[in-house]
Chains A and B, each alone.
Chain A
Amino acid sequence: MTPVNTIEGKAIPFGRANVDTDVIIPAKWLKTISRQGLGRGAFETVRAEPGNVFDDPDYAGAPILIAGENFGCGSSREHAAWALANLGIRAVIAPSYSDIFSGNAFKNGILAVELPRAAIDRLMDVAKTDPISIDLEHQTVTTRFQDRFTFEIDPFRKHCLLEGLDEVGLTLAMEPRIAAFEKQQASWLSPAA
């Protein structure tokens, strides 16, 4: 994973609540065996709406997406995170996320920043004209208007993101612990043939 520290740039003021992963990437795009190229199908139904923010040239190449409550609810498809990454999104700012989505985002180096409603409203305003800065190390979101919002993040996730660590590799290093755990498990756990 590529290390993540500061993310600075335009933010797409999407703002909608309960954005499910079928909206982020409709099911027909999941028939792939690759992680690449999913940006084509990202937000397909939203992009069919005239004047949508995703096709607004003002936000072309924006690395940040601002959304409402419960972002990424629904399906567990990691394709949602891959599609965002493929669009160039490196951070989402929203009041809350589904648990599965925030895990998927983290594992793909996308920062899911949680801020209160009032901060989101303010950033939605700023995003229309100006860039936004996210500093992971100091856990802040700032604007050129002296706005400064701090956010919480799990320390382990923060560490992995800052260092660009591979979680599978980290866990494999604990193999002796896992093997010891397996030794004390009940024998009936292995499924009958």
Chain B
Amino acid sequence: MASRPRTLYEKIWDAHVVERRADGTCLIYIDRHLVHEVTSPQAFESLRLGGRKVRRPDLTLAVPDHNLPTTARLDAEGNRIPIADPESAAQLAALEANAPAFGIRYIGPTDAEQGIVHVVGPEQGFTLPGCTLVCGDSHTAAHGALGALAFGIGTSEVEHVLATQTLLLKQSKSMNIRIEGALGFGVTPKDLILHIIGRIGAAGGTGYVIEYSGSTIRDMSVEGRLTVSNMSIEAGARAGLIAPDDKTFAYLQGRPMAPKGEAWEQAVAWWRTLPSDPGAPFDCVVDIDAAAVAPTVTWGTSPEDVAPVWGAVPDPQSFAEPAKREAAQKSLAYMGLEPGQRMQDLAVENIFIGSCTNSRIEDLRAAAAVLNGRRRADGIKQALVVPGSGLVKRQAEAEGLDRIFIEAGFEWREPGCSACLGMNPDKVPPGERCASTSNRNFVGRQGPGARTHLVSPAMAAAAAVTGRLTDVRELMG
């Protein structure tokens, strides 16, 4: 049958339509559901009250990550150390009880595979190309890097997926972000996605599903792609897809939950048909020149507030729109900045390397390469490295990266969301700056009054060494 060219997004969408209504709303089948402790308790409670079951526990995976402390979880005798905060303990206990009660596979705080849901999913082969994947967390967009249609949902939708394995959705518009060329020396996927958000704005992707394409993406590692797709939501897009290719398949093959044997061959054969057809129509196309991307930092309280590291804090008066002027003024007041200050003159007291954006082994390697044989500056009060999962941690230790971090004055922690979101003990104190590899610089995000500058892992390491925001290339061979 001759059919019109379709995008990757349309192909996945079409393959998951259970029912299409006259108004265009579709009942979409959900292949994978990740559940964590913060956005699920109310959903399980509603199921219980309604006498409803989980339709497909086998397609659901529960992992605590958000409010789990990242300090040691077992004492010297191998007993679990209780969680001091009673509310966090109650939330974790709820997940620990709900998962077996509803027959859901659960990876607990002391399991080697535990980690941030968005690190664990790909690592376990739970995330697969061509699948629909949801989680009650906006950074679910990350899984799009493997060619999964993945997006964050609210708790009512978590309940809907648990009960029905479907969601009622309207198809989004499609945006093709084409990135061509090689990223410069010292420029990473994190710098690229910050640059993109700066270009299209924090709401530029609202209503769209993004597909990232072009030679820069093709040449990028799967882990780098995960960083790019992860921050799609910071541009307002619910999902950020990347076409699956041989790199994707090599990454997934042999992972514990990935298909095996003949099933693997069947799956790969279908995955190869998924990339957007030549001439497939997009509602919007954005072209990015990779060579123009600088090592990038944020100055404000929206991820769109980006500047090259050698740049300066902008003057709010330079923005044309009154709303943006006012927002920039408020951002500068919160961040304790003056127009014209050079980004590289800003002293930081905190370093955070972690989060679902930048806590994979390649991120830790990039930071360790900068820190090797160096020590954190005197002005640094807190420097945390939080691996994205127990398996990342183990791999890093096998490579000796933990020694490099510890010798550089970093704390080597247990996996979790940590200081990305200020709901567990890891926080940035009020009024202090943090060079952070996380994804959001919102007001109060890393703790009340915390001042966040988003950077890549290598740039966070560079800031640790000099005690200020720094162009990492000054420290690279």
Residues of chain B from 190 to 209 with CB closer than 8 A to chain A in the complex: 202-203, 206-207
Q: Is the CB of A33 within 8 A of B153?
A: no
Residue of B nearest to A185 (CB): B29
6 A-B contacts (beta carbon < 8 Å): A17-B327, A31-B90, A33-B42, A76-B152, A168-B163, A174-B19
A175 to B55, CA, bound (A): 10
Do A107 and B154 form a contact, CB below 8 Å, given A70-B236, A174-B27? Answer: yes
Q: Is the CB of A96 within 8 A of B39?
A: no
A156 to B126, CA, bound (A): 33
Do A31 and B59 form a contact, CB below 8 Å, given A26-B422, A174-B27? Answer: no
Say yes or no: is A98 at the interface (Cβ < 8 Å to chain B).
yes
Say yes or no: is B381 at the interface (Cβ < 8 Å to chain A).
no
Give the shortest distance, in Å, between B106 (CB) and chain A (any CB): 14
Give the shortest distance, in Å, between A137 (CB) and chain B (any CB): 18
Known pairs A26-B422, A99-B172, A171-B166 / 20 extra A-B pairs, C-beta < 8 Å: A16-B327, A18-B202, A20-B302, A20-B443, A22-B440, A27-B423, A27-B445, A31-B67, A31-B90, A76-B136, A99-B207, A103-B154, A108-B156, A171-B163, A171-B164, A171-B168, A174-B18, A190-B59, A192-B256, A192-B258
Give the shortest distance, in Å, between A70 (CB) and chain B (any CB): 4
A68 to B156, CA, bound (A): 25
Q: Indicate which residue in B87, B140, B172 contacts A31 across the interface (CB closer than 8 Å).
A: B87
- A-side residues, CB < 8 A to B, are 16-18, 20, 22-23, 26-28, 30-35, 44-45, 68-70, 73-78, 81, 96-100, 103-104, 107-108, 154-156, 167-169, 171-172, 174-175, 177-178, 181-182, 185-192
Chain B residues whose CB sits within 8 angstroms of the CB of A169 once the complex forms:
50
A32 to B87, CA, bound (A): 6
A-B contact count (CB 8 A): 196
Chain B residues whose CB sits within 8 angstroms of the CB of A188 once the complex forms:
259, 263-264, 266-267
Residue of A nearest to B263 (CB): A188
A78 to B136, CA, bound (A): 9
Which interface residue of A44, A45, A99, A154 has the most chain B CB atoms within 10 A?
Answer: A99
Give the shortest distance, in Å, between B31 (CB) and chain A (any CB): 6
Q: Is the CB of A33 within 8 A of B58?
A: no
Chain A residues whose CB sits within 8 angstroms of the CB of B55 once the complex forms:
178
Residues of chain B from 3 to 49 with CB closer than 8 A to chain A in the complex: 18-19, 21, 23, 25, 27, 29, 31-32, 38-39, 41-42, 45-46
Say yes or no: is B180 at the interface (Cβ < 8 Å to chain A).
no
A135 to B140, CA, bound (A): 35
Closest 8 CB pairs of A and B: A78-B154, A27-B423, A31-B87, A188-B263, A33-B41, A104-B154, A107-B156, A76-B152
Say yes or no: is B52 at the interface (Cβ < 8 Å to chain A).
yes
Give the shortest distance, in Å, between B161 (CB) and chain A (any CB): 10
Q: Is the CB of A68 within 8 A of B323?
A: yes
Say yes or no: is B165 at the interface (Cβ < 8 Å to chain A).
yes
Residues of chain B from 87 to 139 with CB closer than 8 A to chain A in the complex: 87-88, 90-91, 94, 125-126, 131, 136-138
Q: Is the CB of A35 within 8 A of B42?
A: yes
A57 to B10, CA, bound (A): 50
